[in-house]
Chains A and B, each alone.
Chain A
């Protein structure tokens, strides 16, 4: 699906179909342009050194 943080059209269509996204071709084209620009952001964290780091599911602020 992803090569160097890029999303190709075929993978985009496939994910859209799996997600049950029903829309016109022109809308999907608009969405593809939008997602293509954002996509590298989604991959930034995966490129970081996160060894021994657990996810922060809830901010650890709730108790005194």
Chain B
């Protein structure tokens, strides 16, 4: 097996080899670090690399596994964390030079759990500054580049997480998602991105953007890898006030059950919104395939979908501005210019506007629950267009010229607003060779069923096996 093949093994494949001691974590980490060294000048996926620490951890993992103390499927597997998950003793920039020297004195719960599971941290991944933007452009640490076309955006805000996984620099990465920041880069880079239910994965030790909309989740190359990751990171955490006291299933257990009889709703509003024809075609084919696999497809209506943009904009901007209020006041001029504008704009949302938005949010949530009385899952596009060149301000989506934020987030934001679980899986490529994403969502805490449908789709297709045209 050559180095590139090894770096593109899924977590599941890699862990089987590591468990059987057919490959050493030291060799695995060394090959990934070599790939990082080759590709970083092109992709700029990382903000902080930890090669020495990673090699030390790999040696420790090798010893442990050699002496029969295998910890589980993430043991010895190289991963990356978006640079807003605190890791004790490792700087945490949140994608802004303002925090260039900030070193947390404690771990985020997610980082702690991943380390306990034996995962090996290669470094902290680049992101849209303060996670406040969906493109993956960063004026402080440099733009992230899409491995499928280096001129194009990765999507954001977890752009480094997506470009690193898509290019085989690490097997699995963590991201956060406030308006689509896992699913957008997942879709634009041809990956699987899972935003679990709000409260399922702890937010403790993760830089806040919007308390009530932030979710931590996974970016991987396969659905199975997301399930393996969920088995490690999900669960109640008393240090996160919004953490859910819910039992956590084994997310891999029902993965390969068939999907016959599942009711999949396709809101007609998804295709009344602006969407590129090649995206619509790919997504409709994906829905058709779910039908061939035994699911029952139902066209449904989600009347409040249109209002969700304004409601989530108000909630997100008010909360982000409140969280960063001191930064705006004292270091505003040091912020990325576009992020600064977004943060300052939140000052013009009145308390009444915010409360009205939270009232409307309850209606939106209730309508979502009612939808799920009639269906088990919803399906549709993740992003209405493929990736576009870095620096683009407006994009043509179908027949509409939209601002990039509006375009990129139109299908993802509703599921931050209601907190329901959502996954993106690759479902095709544009004429120019760029990936297209298919979004499947479920009812609260039903990640297992979301993963099951996504797994069934992925097993029946080969989109996830294509590799971006970057150097070996």
B-side residues, CB < 8 A to A, are 197-199, 212, 242-247, 307, 309-311, 313-314, 317, 328-329, 332-333, 341, 344-345, 347-350, 352-353, 355-363, 365, 418-419, 444-445
Contact = CB atoms under 8 A, between A and B. Distances in A.
B347 A15 contact: yes
Nearest to A41: B310
Contacts of B418: 59
Which of A35, A40, A56, A62 has the largest count of B CB atoms less than 10 A from its CB? A56
Interface in A25-41: 30-31, 34-35, 38-41
Contacts of B332: 21, 23
Nearest to B355: A55
B313 A41 contact: yes
Contacts, number: 115
A55 B356 CA distance: 7
A35 to B, nearest CB: 5
Nearest to A47: B356
| SS of B interface (majority) | helix
Contacts of B310: 40-42, 44-45
Contacts of B349: 42
B419 A61 contact: yes
Contacts of B244: 61-63
Nearest to A56: B362
A60 to B, nearest CB: 8
A55 B247 contact: no
A7 B348 CA distance: 9
Interface string A49-64: 0100111111111111
9 contacts: A16-B347, A40-B310, A41-B313, A55-B359, A56-B361, A57-B358, A62-B199, A63-B244, A63-B246
Interface of A: 7, 12, 15-16, 19-21, 23, 30-31, 34-35, 38-46, 48, 50, 53-64
Given A35-B345, A42-B357, A63-B244, 20 more contacts: A7-B348, A21-B332, A34-B345, A35-B348, A38-B348, A42-B314, A42-B349, A42-B353, A44-B311, A45-B307, A45-B311, A53-B359, A55-B359, A56-B358, A58-B212, A61-B244, A62-B199, A62-B245, A63-B245, A63-B246
Contacts of B341: 30-31, 34
A34 to B, nearest CB: 5
A34 B352 CA distance: 21
B363 A48 contact: yes
A48 to B, nearest CB: 5
A59 B245 contact: no
Contact of A56 (B246, B359, B444): B359
A13 B444 CA distance: 43
A35 B359 CA distance: 23
Given A20-B329, A38-B313, A45 B345 contact: no
